[in-house]
Structure 1
Amino acid sequence: MNSQGIVKNRGFIDRFNLWNTEQSEAVEKIHAVIKENGLRLIRVAWSDQHGISRAKTLTIPAFLGAMKNGIDFNTGPLFFDTANAIVYNPFMKGGGFDSDEMTGCPNYTLVPDPLTFKSLPWAEHTGWILCDAYLKNGNPLPYDSRQICKKALKELNSKGYDLLSGLEVEFSLTKIVDDEIDASLLGAPGSPGQPPKVVPVARGYQYQLEAHNDEIDDILQIIAENIQQLDLPLLTMEDEWGPSQLEFTFAPMKGIDTADTMLLFRTAVKQICKRHGYLATFMCRPSIPGFFSSGWHLHQSLIDINTGENAFIPNNSDGPISEIGQQFIAGILENARAATVFTTPTVNGYKRFKPNSLAPDRAGWGLDNRGTMIRVIGGIEDDSLHFENRAGEPAANPYLYMASQILSGLDGIERKLQPGPLSTEAYNDNRPLLPKDLQSAVDSLKESEVFHNKMGTDFVNYIISMKESEINRYTTYVQENNIEDYANIVTEWEHLEYFEIF
C-alpha cells in the first residue's frame, strides 16, 4: 500500500465485478464534474454500524485510483460502540468475531458507488461519495449495514417488488454559545467529551408557527439551498411541537436511495449548521429543559416491478389497502419488538414511547391515525396510497431501519399474515406493547428467527453486542448516581453520549 492508502492489487473492482452497467457509465460524468467544479479533494464515506458517516479525504489522483482499485480502510470503527468504547478485542484470534479475516484490526476495501457522487456546496472544491465495504477476497463485508440493506432489497426484488419510501424527519436546532475545547472537556474512549453549550432558537409551544421559522430564516435558507444543490428531493420544512424542533420531508425514492439520502441529509445539516454557529442534533430527546422527543417516520409502499404500479392499491373487496399491503403491514407488526433495535437503537429513543403522545406505544395499525405505529395514508382512488411507520427515531441507522422493514414485511407476505382489525383507540388496543427500553428490544431480537435467518446470525449477534455495551455503560451510570426515575428523565449520560455525535 502506498502513502495515500491505495490498495496495490490493481483492478479490484473489475476483477470481482463489483459495479453494474449504470455505475460504470457514471464514472465519466464524475470526471466531468471534478473538472467543471475544480474539485481538489473527495471525501470517501462509509456508513458505520450506527449509521454515522466515517470517511477518508483523498486527493484527486488518489480518488481516481480508488475508482479502479477501491481504498484500504481500517476495520477499527467496527470494534466500537456509540462512544467508541471497545466492544471486540481485535488482537485476539478472530478479532472477537471468530473470524480469521478480522484478526489484528486489518484493512478491508471500500468500493465507491459512482451513483452517489456529489459536489459538496458548503465545502469549497470538495466532492463526496458513498462506499460499500468488501473483504480482500471480493466478498461483501458481513458487518456493512449498507450491504445488509442491499441484500434485503434484492430479496424484495426477487419477489417482484421494489420499495418506494419517503423521509419525514424531526430534529432539534440549537445555537452555540460556548464551543470551548480544552483538555478537561475532551473525554476518552467510552466516555464522550462535553458537547458545546447551546441555547434554543425559539420558544415553545406553538405547533407550525410561521413566526418561528421566520426567526431562523437565515439558517433555514442556507440549509435548504445546500440540500437542493445536492439534488436531494426536499419538499417541506416546518416548525414542530417543541422548542427548536424542526421537521423536514422528502419526496419518495426507490430502493437504496432513501437510506443514502438520510445519511447525507443528517451529515449535511450537522456540518452546515456548525459552520454557521448552530448545532443540529438528531438525538431523539435532548437533555434540555422543555425539549420534546423527535421521531423519524418512514413512509413506505411497494411497487410492482413488472407494471410499475402501486401494489398497495386495493381491489374493492380488499379493504383500505391491498392483500399484499395488509400482509406486509402484518409482518412489520409481527416483528415490531425485535425490529425496534433497528428503528430505535439508542437508550434515549425509548423516552419517546408514551401514551397519547403522537408516538406509538404498541404495535397496531390504523387509517390516518397518528397514535398507531402503522398509519395508512390515502384511499382506493389514490395512487400514492402508502403507510408510515411512526416508531423510528432520527438517530437510527437508515440502512438497518429500511432493511428491518423489508425483511419484516416479506415475512408477512411469505406467511400470509393478517394485521388484525384497524385501531380506533390507538393507546387502548389489545396489541403487543413496544419494548419499554433498549434492553427489552435486544432481548426480543435475540429470539427473532426472522432477523437471524435473513440478516445472518453473525451480524445480529454483532449488533446485539454493540447495543449491550451501550446499555451496560448506561446502567453503570444510573446505578453509580442512584438515579431512580431514569425511565422517565433524560440523563446527563444520554446527553453526552448522543447529543453531538447524532
Structure 2
Amino acid sequence: MTRFVDRFGLWTDDQLKQAHDLVRRIDAGEFDVVRFAWPDQHGLLRGKTLVASEARAALWEGVNLTSTLLAKDTSHKTVFPVFATGGGFAIEGFQGGADFTIVADPSTFKVLPWTPRTGWVLCDAYMGDGSPCPYATRQILQGALRQLDALGLEFIAGLEVEFHVFKLEDERMGLADSGQPGEPPRVSLLSHGHQYLTELRYDRVDSVMELLRSQLIALGLPLRSLEIEFGPSQFELTFGPTSGLLPADTMVLLRSAIKQICQRHGYHATFMCRPRIPNVMSSGWHLHQSLRRKSDGVNAFMPEAPGQDLSDLGLHYLGGLKEHACGAAALASPTINGYRRYRPFSLAPDRAIWARDNRGAMLRVLGGPGQSATRIENRVGEPTANPYLYLASQLFSGLDGMRKETNPGPSADAPYETPAEQLPRSLDEALACLRGNAMLNEQMGKSFIDYLCHIKQAEIARFNLEVSEWEHREYFDMF
C-alpha cells in the first residue's frame, strides 16, 4: 500500500528532495527526536515528538492527531459537542473525536538550538481522503498566495513584534494552582520602562537580549534589530522581509521559541497585548507588506508617476485593506485583551484610514520616489494574532481592492480627527463585522468563519461569567 504522502501527491519535487535529505540526516544519527508541529486555529503550535526512527517513517505517513484539538478555545476547553451526531462541526469527518493527519512540510525543517539533538518541522493538516483540512489556517493562507501567484505576483512581508519579558519569580505549580486555565506565574520587572530606546535601559537587559539574539539567529530567523520599547519590561524585535508563507511561519515559530528559551533561563515571555501590571504599555504587531512582480523581481507598489505615493496597483491594494479593515479586525486582533489597547492617542489606530508616514494611521505608507522599495505598514494587529489568518486577511482584502480598482481616498494627515469608519472596539463587535463581511466569508469559506466565530464567542461567554476585580471594588461596598 502506498504511503499517505505518495498516495495523495502532497509534496512538490523540491519537498520530496528535502525529505530525502532529512532522512539521510536522521540515518546519520544527527537527531534523537523530531518535533512534528502544527499551527492550530489560534496560531499555537501543537503536535507530537517522535524518536528519530519513528520520525523517518512519519515523514511519509504523517502523524495522526485527534480532531478535538480543532474544537479548543484559548483555555484549551472543547467548545463543540464532539461526541454528538456530526460532532458539532459543519463538515463530515470530525464526529467522535476522529483523527486527522498532519504532514510535514520538509522545507520548514529546523534544528532547535536550545534543546540537544532535537529537530523540528512544521506540518499541514489533512483529512483521511488527502484533502486539506478545512479548518487548517496555514492552508487558508496558501490559498490566498495561489491567487496572487496567478497574477504573477508574490507577497513580501516584514515583521515588527512587541512583547514583554519578566523575571520569573513563582511558576505557580502548587496543587491548588492548576486549572483551565491555571494560575499565571508571578513575575517581576527586568526594566522600569518609560525610557524609549535609551542605551542605558538596553544595557541593563543585555544578557536577555543576547540570549534571544543568539538563539534566534541559530534558528535561522531573519532578525534585524532588538529594541527597548516604552513600557516596563517591554521589547521589540524586527525582522527582514521574506516572501510567501515564510513571514507567517517565522511568526508562529518565533513566539514559541521565545517562550521556550525564556522559560529555560528563569524568565517569562508573553505576547499578551496588555498584561495586568502597573504602568503597562500595550504591545502591537505591525505588519509591513508589499507585492513583488515575479517576472523581474521589482516592487509592484513603487510609484509610476511623480507625486504618487504608490503605484496604481498599490493604491487599489491599499483601498482593499481600508475597505475591509473592520471585517478583518478579528483576524488581526483575536483576543478580548487586544481591544484594551484602544486609548486616546495611544498609537493604536481607531479608524480605517491611511496616511503617508504617519504612525497614528491604521495604514502607513512608506517609501516612494527615490526609495529602494515602497510598502504599507498595517498597525492594527496584536502579537497574539494567528499569523496565517492575519496575513490571509490582508491578501484577500488587497486582492479584492485590486479586482475592483478601489480608491483609498486621500491621505489622512490628522488621523485622530479625520472622519472615517471606526474600527471595532471589542472582540464581540469585531466578530459581528467579520460575519458581515461577504468577501472574507467567500474567500475563507463561510463554514470556516462560522467555526472560528463559534470558538471566539465561547471565550467571550466565559469572560462574561466571571466577576472582575473592577466590579467587586466598584459595587461590593457601594450597594
TM-score by length of 1: 0.92
2:176 counterpart residue number: 184
Asked if 1 retains the 8 angstrom alpha-carbon contact of 2:306 and 2:369, the reply is no
2:215 counterpart residue number: 226
Asked if 2 retains the 8 angstrom alpha-carbon contact of 1:37 and 1:125, the reply is no
1:142 counterpart residue number: 134
Residue-pair matches, total: 474
Residue 441 (structure 1) aligned with residue 430 (structure 2): yes
Give SS of 2:176's match: helix
Q: Deviations over 1:469-494 (max 9, x none)?
A: 11111122257973699xxxxxxxxx
Asked if 1 retains the 8 angstrom alpha-carbon contact of 2:154 and 2:292, the reply is yes
Question: Which amino acid in 1 is paired with 2:104?
Answer: P
Q: Deviations over 1:54-78 (max 9, x none)?
A: 0200011111111111111111211
Asked if 1 retains the 8 angstrom alpha-carbon contact of 2:68 and 2:78, the reply is no
Residue 378 (structure 1) aligned with residue 367 (structure 2): yes
1:276 counterpart residue number: 265
Give SS of 1:104's match: helix
1:3 counterpart residue number: none
Give SS of 1:482's match: helix
CA distance in 1: counterparts of 2:285 and 2:303, whole angstroms: 27
Asked if 2 retains the 8 angstrom alpha-carbon contact of 1:80 and 1:466, the reply is yes
1:171 corresponds to which of 163, 171, 181: 163
1:159 corresponds to which of 139, 151, 159: 151
2:85 counterpart residue number: 93
Question: Which amino acid in 1 is paired with 2:188?
Answer: V
In the superposition, relative to structure 1, how do residues 284 and 435 fare at CA in structure 2: closer, same or farther (>3 Å)?
Answer: same
Q: Deviations over 1:309-362 (max 9, x none)?
A: 100011115711111111101101111111011000000001112331111111
1:364 counterpart residue number: 353
Shift of 1:35: 5.6
How do 1:244-263 and structure 2 match up within 5 A?
244-263=233-252
How do 1:80-479 and structure 2 match up within 5 A?
80-188=72-180, 192-316=181-305, 319-478=308-467
Asked if 2 retains the 8 angstrom alpha-carbon contact of 1:321 and 1:380, the reply is no
Structure 1 unpaired stretches of 5+: 1-8, 486-502
Shift of 1:160: 2.0
CA distance in 1: counterparts of 2:90 and 2:104, whole angstroms: 28
CA distance in 1: counterparts of 2:47 and 2:460, whole angstroms: 27
Q: Deviations over 1:217-251 (max 9, x none)?
A: 11211111111111111000000011111000000
1:492 counterpart residue number: none
CA distance in 1: counterparts of 2:335 and 2:363, whole angstroms: 21
Question: Which amino acid in 1 is paired with 2:455?
Answer: M
CA distance in 1: counterparts of 2:78 and 2:450, whole angstroms: 16
In the superposition, relative to structure 1, how do residues 128 and 61 fare at CA in structure 2: closer, same or farther (>3 Å)?
Answer: same
CA distance in 1: counterparts of 2:286 and 2:24, whole angstroms: 37
Asked if 2 retains the 8 angstrom alpha-carbon contact of 1:165 and 1:258, the reply is yes
Shift of 1:183: 2.1
CA distance in 2: counterparts of 1:240 and 1:454, whole angstroms: 36
2:477 counterpart residue number: none
Shift of 1:34: 3.7
2:50 counterpart residue number: 58
- Of residues 211-220 and 13-22 in structure 1, the stretch that sits farther from structure 2 once superposed is 211-220
Asked if 2 retains the 8 angstrom alpha-carbon contact of 1:13 and 1:68, the reply is yes
Question: Which amino acid in 2 is paired with 1:472?
Answer: A
Q: Deviations over 1:91-141 (max 9, x none)?
A: 111110133311101011111000000000001111100000000101000
In the superposition, relative to structure 1, how do residues 443 and 26 fare at CA in structure 2: closer, same or farther (>3 Å)?
Answer: same
Structure 2 unpaired stretches of 5+: 475-479
CA distance in 1: counterparts of 2:469 and 2:338, whole angstroms: 22
Asked if 2 retains the 8 angstrom alpha-carbon contact of 1:167 and 1:252, the reply is yes
- Of residues 125-134 and 150-159 in structure 1, the stretch that sits farther from structure 2 once superposed is 150-159
CA distance in 2: counterparts of 1:179 and 1:340, whole angstroms: 33
Shift of 1:28: 3.0
Residue 17 (structure 1) aligned with residue 9 (structure 2): yes
Give SS of 1:337's match: helix
1:491 counterpart residue number: none
Question: Which amino acid in 1 is paired with 2:279?
Answer: G
In the superposition, relative to structure 1, how do residues 37 and 393 fare at CA in structure 2: closer, same or farther (>3 Å)?
Answer: farther
Aligned identity (percent) is 43
Give SS of 2:93's match: helix
Give SS of 1:252's match: strand
Question: Which amino acid in 2 is paired with 1:447?
Answer: G
CA distance in 1: counterparts of 2:29 and 2:269, whole angstroms: 28
CA distance in 1: counterparts of 2:418 and 2:473, whole angstroms: 29
Asked if 2 retains the 8 angstrom alpha-carbon contact of 1:46 and 1:55, the reply is yes
Give SS of 2:471's match: coil
Shift of 1:456: 0.3
Give SS of 1:321's match: coil
CA distance in 2: counterparts of 1:353 and 1:13, whole angstroms: 46
Asked if 1 retains the 8 angstrom alpha-carbon contact of 2:338 and 2:382, the reply is yes
Asked if 2 retains the 8 angstrom alpha-carbon contact of 1:10 and 1:68, the reply is no
Question: Which amino acid in 2 is paired with 1:396?
Answer: A
Asked if 2 retains the 8 angstrom alpha-carbon contact of 1:42 and 1:129, the reply is yes
CA distance in 1: counterparts of 2:400 and 2:29, whole angstroms: 46
Shift of 1:29: 2.7
Question: Which amino acid in 2 is paired with 1:341?
Answer: A
